[in-house]
């Protein structure tokens, strides 16, 4: 039995402790907004927040998660900053197929939440772990820049 | 949560359809089918009689546009949404003519039906080849306009006025004396009328939606985790399944020891197929772990000894042969004999994987009297056929529930994974969701073929070519996909662009030499034959320009005097990219142009040489004339994304084979362009009144040659073999 | 009465039988355990082939050596060997035909093992299914090692003789000493070689280079060895392949953990730790680093090394080197990021740590194919400067040399 706290709800799930959090979210808790892309932390589609930090849930054994706060794309919109990010994603019409965008948004929200100076280079670094095969990068950058400006952390 | 969601969705969808056709008697309007379609089918498609279509099509589909009693409009999309924004485009076309807002439209995926949904450009029901807007442009607008005319006629008859005195606006018909009736109130009456004989479509000046940027209908669900792709579905009683196929293409399973696999908690069944072993389990992780725990003895078959080097040798040998002639103008033999100089270059393009981020996945439920497939597929008709042939059911008993696609790039024009899902589902008595691991997806893709192009030009004293001989060696996708080549023995996809280059040439001879790689299956990849052809032709013309000492843009224009639309795009590109402005040492611009998928596209890459082999892309400018634009937002997104998709491949990607096995298994071996490497793409959409052209693959096709031409300009090094990393280049 | 006699007979027979069977079983268990401790499988298995059936190639500058089949197949394996022959092979390095083995086979350590332990291993090997598989003929002119597995050349320095317990030391220490110097053959990699390629007894366990990898100093030295590690940390390392902030097994050592150490019981692992901590301190090689403050942040200036780190590494290791989602991904405090020669750093970048027996948060993909020598050298330089605070630079040439070494 494993205990996980996801989106402010505590769940006790009957799975082995070595099962990656990703599959607990998707297959057990049915939170399918977090996506599977590679299974080796190289694409970022499975990004969720653990205590506010972006992590790749595909390589995080659920047994290591107890006592930590997990937030997924389904609940990130409860945070005002994340709402701004989601709005900017729509304003810039970022998504194409949309499959990677949960992970992109989770990485972007963490970047914005954890930094008080954001420039192009910071975007490159923070978003480098998230692959988008449709290559929506140009618009992701614009959307992040927009929110950075609106919250006063953009460094031109 | 998820299964409820799906159940509710299907239930409400069924209810909606059933209600609309039988009880509510909604209005159905089909588009005029293409001349190729059988007459009887055309008649069925446009039938307006209550129930007429409902009888024939179990789910009540049968047309493109349906108006419900609540006034909402269902648009049945013959094109699947895979990120290209086609659902929104199609909704705009219908909304424009039907005079409703985009927010009144609900999109439904069309079921497989060759009579109704055949794409006349592709000649079968499919989403691909950049044809979606080009094909739907006329019939979908016509469908909207027809529905509007019938609704107006109904209102006029209620008010006892002439139809000409009424007009449709925002989902209502307005009468001459201020009357107003919503569409929902008019559908029953309208559905009893015969279809109008002539339907007039709006002139572009009158468009209020088409041509203006629209928020895509599917994107709100894609920013909050609500969007459901096939991999996210959960149907009642379903288990997860995953499979491990023989690592060598063509190999089979000899025997399996599954004791360790079955011991993994959550594992239910081990299903042995001819060339693969599948495991079903309560969760995906258990499937993946169990597959690793299987001890499988393979019969590797005939391809065990093949490797990339051998495939390459065979292609190079083939490129020296004559093969079959795909095109011939003038007399290139004579030209070459008498030319002032000859110039030959050989270009090579690698096997490529599609690697969409959503791996191959399909939900299948096979029962005695029917089969349901929930799957994002570019080819619903083929999915239906494969399921029918495996299960022995009739095609009508196979219900395809098409889903949003998490990236396709041509991969889902194939249905091998659907076949596998149905095979597994046939052997168990519960629905299964097949999900491939990334490793399975990458090593069992159907790859973009490897090609070798050998081009030999006859150059005149002025440095311009009288013509060239173009030999193309590679495997045939057409032969695999359609089961054979046309009588002339030419794969018409493989010789695209080559047989009709934009440049004026007195003499041209194109040879197609089919050389199958055997070791991997090959298939469509974003850009298809156009990508292949543009790479060779645009690199070659660039080499000829440099050999002649003439500016490559000027050189091209000289050979394009008969193609004013292409010249216009080039001139626009020169302006947008500051082509004429001098660059400092170590910096260079490269160019490529083409008339592709019904659009004219021209791209410039400007880059700096950093150190020995480091590349910094400073600018990427692309100009597109794609005719009338439906949704500029989508055009821009497709041009940006398509260009960077092609850039990623041109820089990094190559699938290699050793001992018959694909060597690249995951993204740490098959590199993808990332945020910091992606230059901003300056997209310039030219105002144009031409018929709509495709944009989904246009950017992809142009970037490769523009990039290597820029590398030549900056480094002085002519790279003829993709990817660039093969020659030691890297992005700084 | 007859019944009683028969009953008694039956009892005796069964009892005797049982006792024989359980002795056999115990011997097999012991043999299997010692075979793990001696890591026989690592060298006697070719990639993708049956375990213990040999055929692993050791490529040398002057030819190739193949490990023999040690399954009980009579023709191609050791099925025909007597106890004497097997013991002689392990204790003296002499084959049944009287031929001398190349000391790639670590009989220089196995010689410490008593006859009964060696025969237990033999019993275990003889319990395996025979595999008919001939190793290719060795093709070697003059033996000289090039890669790690072959760092055992020792034609002249066999110190033949069994392990002798030290009565002044604890039982644990003695057990540890036996395992380390005997079956575990730790010194074969961790003790530097003298001019004659024999283990240099003056620098026992002080660390050595092998095939591009560095086997670190594992002597009891506080400043350079594992003296400051707690027994708990050492045992964790043996069991799971890392001790947070101290060391992560990579390359050949990862294989040792995977195939050998993690299979040993707690008591033995503790014994090994006890012994190692008390070995003679060798203050040579890389000093034990002081981890930098954990406030390291992503660099503000762009650079090729940090670009690659952002793409390939930061997801798991994080910019502060803390390894957000896995203690195994902690970089701070590792010798590997403080080694100016970047020996193990280059190795791990190119070869990764992909064993599927590892938990998902401990595996590392290899990045040797998608990044080239410029990118990898920039990455390695960045890691040394950022996490090690070093003023070191790794050149593309070093990467190419390391790549060439890995090809062997």
* B208 shares contact with chain C (CB less than 8 Å): no
Task: State yes or no: pLDDT of B398 exceeds 60.
Answer: yes
Model pLDDT for residues A61-73, shown as the tens digit of each residue: 999 999 999 999 9
Phi/psi region, residue C230 (left: phi>0; alpha: psi -120 to 50; beta: rest), is beta
* Number of domains chain B is built from: 3
> Hey, which residues does C357 pair with through a beta bridge?
none
Task: State yes or no: pLDDT of B78 exceeds 80.
Answer: yes
- Distance from the Cα of A60 to chain C's closest Cα (Å) equals 6
Q: B192, B219, B246: which is the final residue of a domain?
A: B219
Report the residue of chain A nearest B232, measured CA to CA: A32
A-B Cβ pairs (cutoff 8 Å, strict): 187
B40: preceding bond cis by omega (within 30 degrees)? no
Contacts with A128 from chain C: Cβ below 8 Å: 307, 310-311, 314
Domain contains B431: yes
User: What average pLDDT does this structure show over A38-49?
Assistant: 98
Q: For residue C293, what pLDDT is reported? A: 65
The closest CB to that of B407, out of A94, A134, A141, belongs to A134
State whether B312 and B296 are in the same domain: no
Asked if A129's CB is within 8 angstroms of C315's CB, the reply is yes
Say which range, B209-223, B376-390, B446-460, C201-215, has the weakest mean pLDDT: C201-215
- In order of their start, the domains of chain C are 23-162 (no CATH), 167-288 (1.10.760), 304-407 (1.10.760.10)
Which residues, at least 6 apart from B612, have a Cβ–Cβ distance to it below 8 Å? B728, C374
Give CA separation, B450 vs A93, B274, B349, B519, B723, in Å. 35, 28, 5, 12, 12
State whether B345 and B371 are in the same domain: no
pLDDT band of residue C200 (cuts 50, 70, 90) is confident
Task: State yes or no: pLDDT of C7 exceeds 50.
Answer: no
Asked if C374's CB is within 8 angstroms of B669's CB, the reply is no
The closest CB to that of C360, out of A42, A59, A125, belongs to A59
Nearest one of C221, C233, C231, C242 to C270, comparing CA atoms? C231
Higher-scoring residue by pLDDT: C400, C143? C400
Contacts with A42 from chain C: Cβ below 8 Å: 312, 315, 365
The closest CB to that of C310, out of B612, B676, B730, belongs to B676
State whether B431 and B319 are in the same domain: no
Q: For residue C197, what pLDDT is reported? A: 62
Domain contains B322: yes
Domain contains B441: no
Q: For residue B20, what pLDDT is reported? A: 30
Domain contains B564: yes
Distance CA A48, CA A61 (A): 13
Distance CA C25, CA A156 (A): 74
Report the residue of chain B nearest A36, measured CA to CA: B358
* C365 shares contact with chain A (CB less than 8 Å): yes
Go through chain C and tell me how many residues it has: 408
pLDDT band of residue B111 (cuts 50, 70, 90) is confident
* C370 shares contact with chain B (CB less than 8 Å): yes
Domain contains B419: yes
> Which DSSP string do the residues of B617-647 spell out, in sequence order?
EEEEEEEEE-SS-S-HHHHHHHHHHHHHHHH
- In order of their start, the domains of chain A are 2-75 (3.10.20.30), 76-150 (1.10.150.120)
User: What average pLDDT does this structure show over B596-623?
Assistant: 97
Distance CA B220, CA B227 (A): 8
* C297 shares contact with chain A (CB less than 8 Å): no
pLDDT band of residue B190 (cuts 50, 70, 90) is confident
The closest CB to that of A45, out of B218, B234, B357, belongs to B357
- Identify the residue among C356, C369, C378 best suited for mutation to test binding to B, counting B beta carbons within 10 A and taking the highest: C369
At C112, list the tokens. 């410490």
Domain contains B130: yes
H or E stretch covering B46: helix B39-46
- Distance from the Cα of C327 to chain A's closest Cα (Å) equals 10
Say which range, B69-78, B245-254, C56-65, has the weakest mean pLDDT: C56-65
Report the residue of chain C nearest B723, measured CA to CA: C370
Distance CA B479, CA B517 (A): 13
CATH number at residue B402: 3.30.365.10
Say which range, A103-112, B480-489, B677-686, C343-352, has the weakest mean pLDDT: B480-489
Burial B676-713 (b: 16+ CB within 10 A, else e): bbbbbbbbbbbebeeebbbbbbbbbbbbbbbbbbbbbb
CB-count exposure of residue B609 (10 Å: 0-12, 13-18, 19+): buried
Q: For residue B71, what pLDDT is reported? A: 85
State whether B275 and B323 are in the same domain: no
Model pLDDT for residues B691-723, shown as the tens digit of each residue: 999 999 999 999 999 999 999 999 999 999 999
- Identify the residue among C301, C303, C316, C325 best suited for mutation to test binding to A, counting A beta carbons within 10 A and taking the highest: C325
Asked if A89's CB is within 8 angstroms of B223's CB, the reply is yes
Go through chain A and tell me how many residues it has: 156
State whether B428 and B533 are in the same domain: no
State whether B669 and B701 are in the same domain: yes
DSSP state of B15: H
Beta-strand runs (E) in A7-156: 9-13, 47-50, 53-56, 69-71
Asked if C315's CB is within 8 angstroms of A44's CB, the reply is yes
User: What average pLDDT does this structure show over B179-202?
Assistant: 87
3-state secondary structure of B270: strand
CA angle B90, B91, B94 (to 5 degrees): 90
Asked if A72's CB is within 8 angstroms of B283's CB, the reply is no
Q: B219, B243, B266: which is the final residue of a domain?
A: B219
Q: For residue B143, what pLDDT is reported? A: 85
Model pLDDT for residues C21-68, shown as the tens digit of each residue: 677 889 999 999 999 999 999 999 998 889 999 999 877 555 678 899
Model pLDDT for residues A117-144, shown as the tens digit of each residue: 999 999 999 999 999 999 999 999 999 9
The closest CB to that of C359, out of A41, A61, A129, belongs to A61
* Contact call for residues B171 and B183 (beta carbons, < 8 A): yes
* A131 shares contact with chain C (CB less than 8 Å): no
State whether B495 and B367 are in the same domain: no
- Distance from the Cα of C240 to chain A's closest Cα (Å) equals 14
Report the residue of chain B nearest A62, measured CA to CA: B285
The predicted complex's ipTM stands at 0.98
Asked if B728's CB is within 8 angstroms of C372's CB, the reply is yes
- Distance from the Cα of A57 to chain C's closest Cα (Å) equals 9
Q: For residue B68, what pLDDT is reported? A: 82
* Strands B73-77 vs B65-67: parallel, antiparallel or unpaired: antiparallel
State whether B269 and B195 are in the same domain: no
User: What average pLDDT does this structure show over C232-256?
Assistant: 94
Q: For residue C255, what pLDDT is reported? A: 92
Contacts with C307 from chain B: Cβ below 8 Å: 676, 732
All chains having 3 or more CB pairs closer than 8 angstroms to chain A: B, C
* C165 shares contact with chain B (CB less than 8 Å): no
The closest CB to that of B219, out of A28, A98, A99, belongs to A98
State whether B270 and B316 are in the same domain: no
pLDDT band of residue B24 (cuts 50, 70, 90) is very low
- Distance from the Cα of A152 to chain B's closest Cα (Å) equals 22
Which residues, at least 6 apart from B46, have a Cβ–Cβ distance to it below 8 Å? B29, B30, B31, B32, B63, B195
pLDDT band of residue C310 (cuts 50, 70, 90) is very high
Higher-scoring residue by pLDDT: B35, C239? C239
At C288, list the tokens. 């034990």
Interface of A with B in 78-107 (CB under 8 A): 86, 89-90, 93-102, 105
At C9, list the tokens. 């007979």
CB-count exposure of residue B259 (10 Å: 0-12, 13-18, 19+): exposed
* Strands B276-281 vs B370-375: parallel, antiparallel or unpaired: unpaired
Say which range, B32-41, B230-239, B688-697, has the weakest mean pLDDT: B32-41
Asked if C325's CB is within 8 angstroms of A128's CB, the reply is no
Model pLDDT for residues B86-95, shown as the tens digit of each residue: 999 999 999 9
* A8 shares contact with chain C (CB less than 8 Å): no
> Hey, which residues does B587 pair with through a beta bridge?
B608
Asked if B409's CB is within 8 angstroms of A139's CB, the reply is no
State whether B264 and B387 are in the same domain: yes
* A155 shares contact with chain C (CB less than 8 Å): no
* A4 shares contact with chain B (CB less than 8 Å): no
Higher-scoring residue by pLDDT: C201, B477? B477
Asked if C370's CB is within 8 angstroms of B668's CB, the reply is yes
State whether B319 and B196 are in the same domain: no
Q: For residue B560, what pLDDT is reported? A: 98
Report the residue of chain B nearest A43, measured CA to CA: B667
Distance CA C379, CA C307 (A): 8
Task: State yes or no: pLDDT of B195 exceeds 80.
Answer: no
- Identify the residue among C49, C311, C397 best suited for mutation to test binding to B, counting B beta carbons within 10 A and taking the highest: C311
Which residues, at least 6 apart from C357, have a Cβ–Cβ distance to it below 8 Å? C258
H or E stretch covering B706: helix B698-715
Asked if B611's CB is within 8 angstroms of C374's CB, the reply is yes
The closest CB to that of C361, out of A42, A61, A129, belongs to A61
Q: What is the mean pLDDT of chain C?
A: 87
Interface of C with B in 297-356 (CB under 8 A): 302, 304, 307, 310-312, 352, 356
- What angle do helix axes C115-126 and C2-37 make, rounded to 10 degrees? 100
Which residues, at least 6 apart from B372, have a Cβ–Cβ distance to it below 8 Å? B235, B363, B364, B365, B399, B401, B431
Backbone angles phi, psi at B619, to 5 degrees: -150, 150
How many other C-beta atoms are found inside a 10 Å radius of the C-beta of residue B73?
Answer: 27
Which residues, at least 6 apart from B499, have a Cβ–Cβ distance to it below 8 Å? B326, B327, B508, B510
* A27 shares contact with chain C (CB less than 8 Å): no
Distance CA B121, CA B112 (A): 17
pLDDT band of residue C20 (cuts 50, 70, 90) is low
Task: State yes or no: pLDDT of B171 exceeds 80.
Answer: yes
Nearest one of C268, C267, C128 to C184, comparing CA atoms? C268
Q: Give the residue numbers spanning the domain of B325.
A: 308-351+447-731
Phi/psi region, residue C154 (left: phi>0; alpha: psi -120 to 50; beta: rest), is beta
User: What average pLDDT does this structure show over B293-301?
Assistant: 96
Contacts with B669 from chain C: Cβ below 8 Å: 365, 369-370
Q: For residue B64, what pLDDT is reported? A: 82
Which residues, at least 6 apart from B435, have a Cβ–Cβ distance to it below 8 Å? A36, B231, B240, B241, B242, B284, B287, B359, B360, B361
Proportion of chain B above pLDDT 90, given as a percent: 80
Task: State yes or no: pLDDT of A101 exceeds 70.
Answer: yes
Asked if B652's CB is within 8 angstroms of C370's CB, the reply is yes
- Identify the residue among C299, C304, C349, C352 best suited for mutation to test binding to B, counting B beta carbons within 10 A and taking the highest: C304
User: What average pLDDT does this structure show over B351-357?
Assistant: 98
Domain contains B687: yes
Q: B219, B248, B278: which is the final residue of a domain?
A: B219
Q: For residue B63, what pLDDT is reported? A: 63
Q: For residue B212, what pLDDT is reported? A: 93
Give CA separation, B277 vs A62, A77, B247, B257, in Å. 28, 41, 12, 11
State whether B376 and B517 are in the same domain: no
Say which range, B160-164, B307-311, B512-516, C209-213, has the weakest mean pLDDT: C209-213
Which residues, at least 6 apart from B138, have a Cβ–Cβ distance to it below 8 Å? B31
* Strands B661-662 vs B657-658: parallel, antiparallel or unpaired: antiparallel
Domain contains B635: yes
Asked if B668's CB is within 8 angstroms of C312's CB, the reply is yes
pLDDT band of residue B613 (cuts 50, 70, 90) is very high
């Amino acid at each position: 039995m494993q205990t996980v706290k996801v989106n402010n709800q505590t769940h006790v799930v009957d799975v082995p402790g070595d099962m990656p959090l990703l599959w607990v979210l998707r297959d057990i808790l049915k939170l399918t907004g977090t996506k599977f892309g590679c299974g080796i932390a190289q694409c970022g589609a499975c990004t969720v927040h653990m205590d506010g930090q972006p992590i790749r849930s595909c390589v995080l054994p659920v047994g290591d998660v107890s006592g930590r706060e997990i937030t997924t794309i389904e609940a990130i919109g409860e945070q005002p900053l994340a709402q701004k990010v989601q709005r900017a994603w729509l304003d810039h019409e970022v998504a194409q197929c949309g499959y990677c965008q949960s992970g992109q948004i989770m990485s972007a929200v963490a970047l914005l939440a954890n930094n008080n100076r954001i420039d192009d280079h910071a975007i490159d670094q923070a978003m480098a772990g998230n692959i988008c095969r449709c290559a929506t990068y140009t618009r992701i950058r614009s959307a992040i820049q927009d929110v950075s400006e609106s919250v006063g952390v953009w460094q031109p | 949560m998820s299964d409820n969601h799906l159940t509710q969705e299907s239930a409400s969808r069924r209810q909606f359809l059933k209600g609309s056709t039988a009880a509510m008697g909604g209005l159905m309007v089909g588009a005029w089918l293409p001349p190729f379609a059988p007459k009887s089918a055309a008649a069925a498609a446009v039938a307006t009689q209550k129930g007429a279509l409902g009888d024939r099509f179990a789910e009540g589909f049968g047309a493109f546009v349906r108006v419900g009693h609540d006034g909402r409009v269902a648009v049945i999309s013959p094109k699947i949404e895979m990120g290209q924004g086609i659902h929104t485009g199609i909704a705009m076309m219908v909304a424009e003519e039907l005079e409703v807002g985009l927010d009144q439209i609900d999109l439904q995926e069309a079921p497989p039906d060759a009579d109704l949904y055949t794409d006349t450009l592709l000649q079968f029901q499919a989403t691909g080849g950049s044809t979606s807007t080009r094909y739907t442009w006329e019939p979908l607008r016509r469908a909207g306009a027809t529905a509007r005319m019938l609704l107006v006629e109904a209102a006029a008859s209620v008010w006892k006025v002439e139809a000409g005195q009424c007009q449709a606006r925002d989902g209502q018909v307005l009468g001459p004396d201020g009357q107003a009736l919503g569409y929902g109130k008019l559908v029953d009456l309208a559905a009893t009328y015969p279809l109008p004989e002539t339907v007039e479509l709006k002139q572009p000046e009158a468009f209020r939606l088409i041509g203006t940027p629209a928020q895509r209908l599917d994107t709100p669900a894609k920013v909050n985790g609500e969007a459901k792709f096939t991999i996210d579905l959960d149907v009642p009683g379903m288990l997860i399944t995953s499979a491990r196929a023989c690592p060598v293409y063509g190999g089979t399973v000899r025997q399996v020891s599954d004791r360790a696999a079955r011991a993994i908690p959550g594992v239910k069944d081990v299903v042995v197929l001819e060339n693969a072993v599948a495991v079903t389990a309560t969760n995906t992780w258990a499937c993946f772990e169990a597959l690793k725990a299987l001890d499988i003895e393979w019969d590797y078959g005939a391809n065990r000894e093949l490797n990339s080097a051998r495939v390459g040798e065979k292609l190079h040998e083939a490129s020296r042969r004559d093969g079959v002639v795909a095109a011939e103008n003038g007399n290139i033999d004579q030209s070459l004999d008498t030319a002032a100089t000859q110039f030959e270059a050989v270009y090579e393009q690698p096997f490529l994987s599609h690697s969409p981020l959503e791996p191959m996945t399909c939900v299948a439920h096979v029962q005695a009297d029917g089969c349901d497939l929930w799957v994002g597929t570019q080819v619903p008709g083929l999915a239906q056929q494969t399921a029918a042939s495996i299960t022995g059911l009739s095609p009508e008993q196979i219900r395809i529930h098409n889903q949003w696609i998490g990236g396709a790039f041509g991969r889902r024009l194939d249905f091998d994974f659907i076949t596998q899902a149905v095979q597994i589902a046939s052997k168990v008595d519960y629905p299964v969701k097949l999900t491939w691991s990334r490793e399975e997806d990458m090593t069992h893709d159907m790859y973009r073929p490897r090609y070798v192009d050998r081009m030999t030009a006859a150059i005149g004293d002025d440095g311009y070519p009288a013509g060239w001989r173009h030999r193309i060696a590679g495997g045939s996708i057409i032969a695999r996909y359609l089961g054979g080549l046309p009588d002339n023995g030419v794969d018409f996809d493989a010789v695209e662009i080559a047989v009709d280059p934009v440049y004026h040439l007195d003499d041209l001879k194109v040879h197609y030499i089919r050389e199958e790689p055997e070791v991997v299956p090959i298939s469509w990849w974003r850009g298809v034959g156009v990508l292949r052809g543009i790479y060779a032709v645009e690199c070659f013309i660039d080499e000829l320009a440099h050999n002649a000492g003439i500016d490559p843009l000027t050189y091209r224009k000289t050979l394009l005097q008969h193609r004013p639309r292409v010249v216009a795009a080039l001139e626009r590109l020169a302006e947008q990219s500051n082509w004429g402005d001098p660059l400092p040492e170590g910096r260079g611009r490269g160019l490529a142009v083409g008339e592709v998928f019904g659009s004219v596209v021209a791209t410039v890459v400007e880059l700096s040489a950093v150190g020995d082999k480091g590349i910094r892309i400073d600018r990427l400018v692309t100009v597109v004339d794609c005719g009338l634009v439906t949704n500029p937002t989508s055009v821009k997104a497709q041009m940006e994304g398509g260009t960077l998709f092609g850039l990623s491949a041109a820089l990094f990607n190559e699938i290699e084979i050793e001992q018959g096995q694909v060597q690249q298994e995951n993204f740490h071996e098959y590199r993808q362009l990332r945020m910091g490497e992606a230059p901003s793409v300056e997209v310039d959409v030219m105002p144009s009144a031409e018929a709509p052209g495709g944009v989904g693959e246009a950017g992809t096709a142009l970037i490769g040659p523009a990039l290597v031409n820029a590398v030549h300009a900056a480094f002085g090094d002519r790279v003829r073999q993709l990817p660039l990393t093969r020659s030691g280049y890297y992005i700084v | 009465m007859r019944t009683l006699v028969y009953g008694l007979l039956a009892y005796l027979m069964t009892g005797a039988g049982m006792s024989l069977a359980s002795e056999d079983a115990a011997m097999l268990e012991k043999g299997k355990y010692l075979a793990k401790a001696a890591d026989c499988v690592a060298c006697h298995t070719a990639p993708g082939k049956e375990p213990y059936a040999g055929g692993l190639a050791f490529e040398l500058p002057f030819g190739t050596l193949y490990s023999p089949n040690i399954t009980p197949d009579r023709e191609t394996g050791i099925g025909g060997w007597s106890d004497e022959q097997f013991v002689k092979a392990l204790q003296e390095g002499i084959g049944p035909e009287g031929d001398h083995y190349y000391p790639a086979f670590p009989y220089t350590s196995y010689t410490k093992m008593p006859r009964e332990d060696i025969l237990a291993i033999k019993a275990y090997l003889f319990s395996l299914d025979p595999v008919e598989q001939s190793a290719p003929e060795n093709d070697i002119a003059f033996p000289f090692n090039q890669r790690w597995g072959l760092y055992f050349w020792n034609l002249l320095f066999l110190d033949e003789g069994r392990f002798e317990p030290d009565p002044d030391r604890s039982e644990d220490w003695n057990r540890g000493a036996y395992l380390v110097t005997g079956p575990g053959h730790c010194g074969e990699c961790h003790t530097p070689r003298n001019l004659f390629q024999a283990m240099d007894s003056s620098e026992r366990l002080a660390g050595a280079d092998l095939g591009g990898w560095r086997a670190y100093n594992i002597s009891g030295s506080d400043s350079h060895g594992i003296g400051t590690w707690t027994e708990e940390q050492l045992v964790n390392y043996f069991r799971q392949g890392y001790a947070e902030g101290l060391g992560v097994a990579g390359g050949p050592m990862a294989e040792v953990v995977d195939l050998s150490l993690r299979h040993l019981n707690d008591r033995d692992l503790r014994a090994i730790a006890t012994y190692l901590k008390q070995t003679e301190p060798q203050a040579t090689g890389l000093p034990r680093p002081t981890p930098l403050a954990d406030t390291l942040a992503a660099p503000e200036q762009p650079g090729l090394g940090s670009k690659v780190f952002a793409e390939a590494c930061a997801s798991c290791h994080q910019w502060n080197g803390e390894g957000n989602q896995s203690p195994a991904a902690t970089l701070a405090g590792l010798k590997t990021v403080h080694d100016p020669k970047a020996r193990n750093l280059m190795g791990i970048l190119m070869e990764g740590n992909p064993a599927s027996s590892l938990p998902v948060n401990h595996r590392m993909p290899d990045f040797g194919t998608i990044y080239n020598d410029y990118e990898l050298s920039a990455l390695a330089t960045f890691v040394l400067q950022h996490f090690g605070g070093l003023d070191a630079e790794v050149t593309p040439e070093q990467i190419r040399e390391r790549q060439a070494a890995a090809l062997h």
